[in-house]
Amino acid sequence: MTTNWNRKDQHIHFAEMQYQSNSSNGLDQVRFVHQSFAEMKTSDVNLQTSLGSLNLDYPFFINAMTGGSDKAKIINQNLASIAKETNLAMAVGSVSAAIKSPELADSFKIVRQVNPKGIIISNLGAHHQLDNAKRAVDMLEANAIQLHVNTPQELVMPEGDRDFNGWLANIEDIVNHIDVPVIVKEVGFGMSKESIQQLLDIGVSIIDVSGRGGTNFIHIENERRDLKEFDYLLNWGQTTAESLLEAHFYRKQADFIASGGIKHPLHILAAFGLGAKAVGLSGELLHLVLTKGNDTTIKTIESWKQELVALMTMIGAKRITDVERKPLVLSPELSHWCHERHINFKHQ
């Protein structure tokens, strides 16, 4: 087991090592039906969206990645600078390391220092209770908090948790007693309709389904094991597309975020077509920052904004919420998933 460097740095290293240009998030299996007449101008497109009371100027954002080491501080500083220049919201990685070891707090606080007026989302595991959630928000003067759920990662992680009692009770307490929006986020294993119902039952109204197809934390934690004995679990979980289909019945009861293997604006559009109101980007932006630098990453983000405007014009959608009403066709694989899971996927 690799133990001679910080676990957070190991995560960064293995996340970049497993980066792949070809995604398996299922969104390539969603096809819009081309229509010849858009009957609109590109200037008619409005990219604004909302997640509960959180208003975003753009419907994609920098999702949770890192923090808790010197290297992570540099990456967070770069990401915060990019978020400021592009006016994107930004989530940080889990701040639990800074709660345990306050000397690591600067690797997270740097985000607010660099981007004092931006939308910053703090992040904490669902095993934490209300007091720590308040500390996580205060640490960053955060506009919202993500509570991540990651049972498979913890079980494969050599030093991970083994007791998963009380997560729902913690989430409910935080939702009821914290003053900022609460986002419950998977970490790349996707969401089921049963899990979504459990979250709705305790008052959660913003859910990041975070499906399989992006950074794979079973793979990362398995690489940290001596025997790497969990290779057979590398395809565990629902893809991003499958997770959004699981959420289909509930899309009027909660706001859904899609993340997991988003590689280009057509993936973003497909996520909107399946009912997402925003999209989180992690692995793609991490790869750009590490290999191309800030300027290229900023140029890419600005290009994606314009490409998304073009795509929405092409299907005649003026707003993000218009996209899910446009006709699309699912692959046989996704249609089979809907059949087996009794999901009646229809546009309403």
Domain locations in the chain?
A: 8-340
d(C-alpha 282, C-alpha 260), whole Å? 8
Any binding-site annotation on 118? no
Any binding-site annotation on 154? yes
Any binding-site annotation on 215? yes
Q: What is the pLDDT of residues 148-192, one digit of tens each?
A: 999 999 999 998 899 999 999 999 999 999 999 999 999 999 999
Any binding-site annotation on 94? yes
Q: What is the pLDDT of residues 97-117, one digit of tens each?
A: 999 999 999 999 999 999 999
Any binding-site annotation on 297? no
Q: What is the pLDDT of residues 230-263, one digit of tens each?
A: 999 999 999 999 999 999 999 999 999 999 999 9
pTM of the entire structure?
A: 0.94
Do 275 and 227 form a contact (C-beta atoms < 8 A)? Answer: no
Any binding-site annotation on 109? no
Any binding-site annotation on 262? yes
CA–CA distance from 320 to each of 32, 187, 275, 277, 345 (Å)? Answer: 15, 24, 9, 7, 19
Any binding-site annotation on 174? no
Q: Check residue 348 and give its pLDDT.
A: 44
Any binding-site annotation on 210? yes
d(C-alpha 104, C-alpha 107), whole Å? 6
Q: What is the pLDDT of residues 204-222, one digit of tens each?
A: 999 999 999 988 989 989 9
Any binding-site annotation on 20? no
Confidence of residue 15 (pLDDT cuts 50, 70, 90): low
Any binding-site annotation on 320? no
d(C-alpha 178, C-alpha 53), whole Å? 14
Mean pLDDT calculated for residue range 27-51: 97
Q: Return the CATH superfamily for domain 8-340.
A: Aldolase class I (3.20.20.70)
